[in-house]
Structure 1
């Protein structure tokens, strides 16, 4: 297993140490796809499982087989209790594995054995070590009846031991990528996770037009609870803010009503043509319906690869769980549709406010 080694300890002083940890089968598969996507070179990647054969197939820097005496390396058999006990048996080694991290992103599939049972244990250990912990977990397809019940229990446990939980619904893959091969379909969701983590990582660790620091990130995430993730991009030169925000709000994998959210972490990427007003307008549009006391932290970075384009990634925290599952509520969907005129788009009554 490879360790990150620096010739000069000062190279890492003042730089947040970040890891993404994939737990269980789905979490491990995500680690493989994240490796193939690239772009997260500064983030340490760790895979944890009870299934040795599956773990051996994962191409990531650090791997750990847990609960060997309990499962004999054969997996948790869909039992969250076995997944939890497997992690508890190797608590000290898991603690050493994530020691020293400032931010831990945890990815897992909810509803199975290892991910559902072990992920909360890993999250709790990361929290005890002082890390900010953000879980990005998948929720089973509607047809997976018993797994959905297990998933809800697992998510509730995660809410108690993480700073923020982002739930991604597998059912939305059927609408967005139902005709793609299975691996390609799941890769689209992993790409969104990678883009969000990369956006947050870059704005914390690299020089930016408007910087976020670790303290900013911590302030929003510590009060996070349930959150939704938004990713949008546009190559339109006219009405760039409206276009990129509309793309984010209408993304079929991520649509969710975050009205009343208590916090927002927003990262905007654009080329040298991105203006401060455009950046501010993007933030205004995304935060228009947040709670009046919401803690909004945003950063912006210039990347020459984005000349003529713009991308936004955001995590909206403190969202009511009823708004997360099933996407946009019927009431909110009606409001959005009523605003969806050809000329006005979905922001007809908001644009005049930000252009005052």
Structure 2
């Protein structure tokens, strides 16, 4: 048996070298992943992602604020609503952010192309992010993508922004397949003594690392790859989701990293009734398969037997001696935004009382040329220019 184990280890090392050598070769059927940041907070996350690097995904920054957009690094940058805001931002008005983004939907359709999975990130409560995120999600959904919103909510003291955030969350919930809601108030559990600017940077990093981890575990060789089809099943109609984050350098990795994650949920919900779970583990070369499986098992043991759970694990050299887990539990109930079951009941009651349905989305037909999957612009490019759309690639 020892000879078999030794041969297996030698062959595994050779196969790993061959995989690394082939990484620059042709790709066969890899899903196209796009990450869209809307508004100031969303743009900051995109900037962080671009700088730390995310393999196998495209980054897009959308904003009404020209000056802020100039400072952002992304694969594609889109200034929307120039004729409405003169590039000065939405002034905290979500309806302005919504209108500006609707005017640019032809361009957004083109840059999204034939995306399979779209992450839409924004800070809820402002103007552009709150207004733009539902519009971008609807466009991506109509083009056949699985859409995952990843948004942060304001501090409790920001009362006016909180009201806008709640309204924006409901609109986003109607358009995205799943919404991962991150409560800024929970930052106090992580970094209670940090200046507010640096605390927000922590949230940017959490979102960026999560999106990067999920994307690369789908598209890059890993210890345990996330299967895109399985992930789509969990995220499709996943409703509201909560994220747990844990990290440890303790020798007892399996227990300690799960304990840390349990103590730091980023939304105040009881996730035991979650319909699905996605667990992503990052560790060093010393992480064993048994440890990784133990972490995934421990963090999902409170879920019901019917919950659909998938997990993946990546090995990175700079994680030697430590391990990080990020878990997303879908289909939870939250006071901040209605889950699928609660929403169905609310919709049924509302329709029985009002006898009305929501109006169809009023979409303009603007199209701009894009090198992948592009079609004729139908003579609409000039219209978007008049509406005020700048695209920087």
Aligned-residue RMSD, C-alpha: 2.2
TM-score for both structures, normalised by structure 1: 0.82
Q: In structure 1, what is the equivalent of residue 207 of structure 2?
A: 193
| Alignment of structure 1 residues 128-139 onto 2, 5 Å | 128-139=142-153
Greater CA radius of gyration, 1 or 2?
2
Cα deviation digits, residues 202-229 of structure 1 (max 9, x gap)? 2211222322221111111103110011
- What number of residue pairs does the alignment pair up? 315
Give the distance between the partners of 2:323 and 2:311, measured in 1 at CA: 15
Give the distance between the partners of 2:154 and 2:288, measured in 1 at CA: 41
Q: In structure 2, what is the equivalent of residue 126 of structure 1?
A: 140
Q: In structure 2, what is the equivalent of residue 307 of structure 1?
A: 320
Q: In structure 2, what is the equivalent of residue 71 of structure 1?
A: 85
Among candidates 32, 42, 45, match of residue 17 of structure 1: 32
Give the distance between the partners of 2:269 and 2:109, measured in 1 at CA: 34
- Residue 24 of structure 1: how far off its partner (Å): 1.0
Answer yes or no: is the 8 Å Cα contact 2:126–2:164 preserved in 1: yes
Q: Which structure 1 residue ranges, 5 or more long, are not aligned? A: 1-8, 326-356
Q: Which runs of 4+ in 1 moved over 6 A?
A: none
What secondary structure sits across from 2:335 in the alignment? helix
What secondary structure sits across from 1:211 in the alignment? coil
Answer yes or no: is the 8 Å Cα contact 1:132–1:222 preserved in 2: yes
| Alignment of structure 1 residues 53-92 onto 2, 5 Å | 53-92=67-106
Answer yes or no: is the 8 Å Cα contact 2:269–2:334 preserved in 1: no
Q: In structure 1, what is the equivalent of residue 62 of structure 2?
A: 48
- Residue 178 of structure 1: how far off its partner (Å): 4.2
Answer yes or no: is the 8 Å Cα contact 1:196–1:314 preserved in 2: no
- Residue 19 of structure 1: how far off its partner (Å): 1.7
Q: Structure 1 residues 176, 297: closer, same or farther in 2, change over 3 A?
A: closer
- Residue 162 of structure 1: how far off its partner (Å): 0.6
Answer yes or no: is the 8 Å Cα contact 1:249–1:255 preserved in 2: no
Give the distance between the partners of 1:220 and 1:295, measured in 2 at CA: 7
Answer yes or no: is the 8 Å Cα contact 1:270–1:310 preserved in 2: yes
What secondary structure sits across from 2:217 in the alignment? helix
Q: Structure 1 residues 74, 308: closer, same or farther in 2, change over 3 A?
A: closer
The one of the two structures with greater contact order (alpha-carbon pairs below 8 A, sep at least 6) is: 2
